[in-house]
Amino acid sequence: SALLMPLNWYLEVQKWRMSIEEEQLSFKEGVQAVLSGLALNWILPFTLGDVTGRLANAQNRKKVGMALIITRTISMIITLAFGGCGVVYYLGYSSKYYLLIVALSITSLFILSRVYRFAELKSYGRVICLSVIRYLVFSIQFIILIWALVPGLAWETIVLGVGWVFLFRSVVPSLFGNFGIREASALMFFEKYLEVPAVILIPSLLIWIINTVIPSVIGAFLLFKLRLNIAQ
């Protein structure tokens, strides 16, 4: 799971660079923008640190701001699609609702494509592909941890439970690197399927450390290094 962390953030950096092609952001600058924003999320509430990190050195802040809103919306639609399936599974609704969720997601992405073109941004299809691939990567990370540390759960329960957790992590306002939201939502979902629900907290904390804490430390180092360079 930890080995997939660099791939996870590599995809996010590439997605961001692709979203703002006219800025001609180098890979190094993309890493700095994404990870420094992640570090700032520990100081600024409601992921405003991410906004600050990505807009800090933008040449056209209005256009970059629009790109950030759209890429976040794409990610949210994908999260709602997978998370919605988790909700359907948890509530025991008919499988026909899965098809409804897929149809609504595709329709939403189609409507958003109009906004994307209106904003004169490029590579919409590629940004969606990278967003889906990245979602699958960090979902697989969490799935592997749950499978390894919480034996006895059915695969469909793990997969749809992960969708549920990431849905709540995305829609609930967060402070301090999303700490607590992932754990609470995992406990809420998996207590229905586990004799000792508290065991789900172990993989939930580990995935938070791997995908948030470690990259945030790297981002904080990049911020510190940037400030030193500016001071000199």
Question: Angle at which helices 5-19 and 124-149 pack, to 10 degrees?
Answer: 160
Predicted local distance difference test score (pLDDT) of residue 174: 60
Predicted local distance difference test score (pLDDT) of residue 228: 46
Q: What is the pTM of this model?
A: 0.91
Residue showing tokens 């508290």: 198
Q: Which residue positions in the chain have pLDDT lower than 70?
A: 173-179, 225-232
Q: How far apart are CA 108 and CA 101, in angstroms?
A: 10
Predicted local distance difference test score (pLDDT) of residue 22: 86
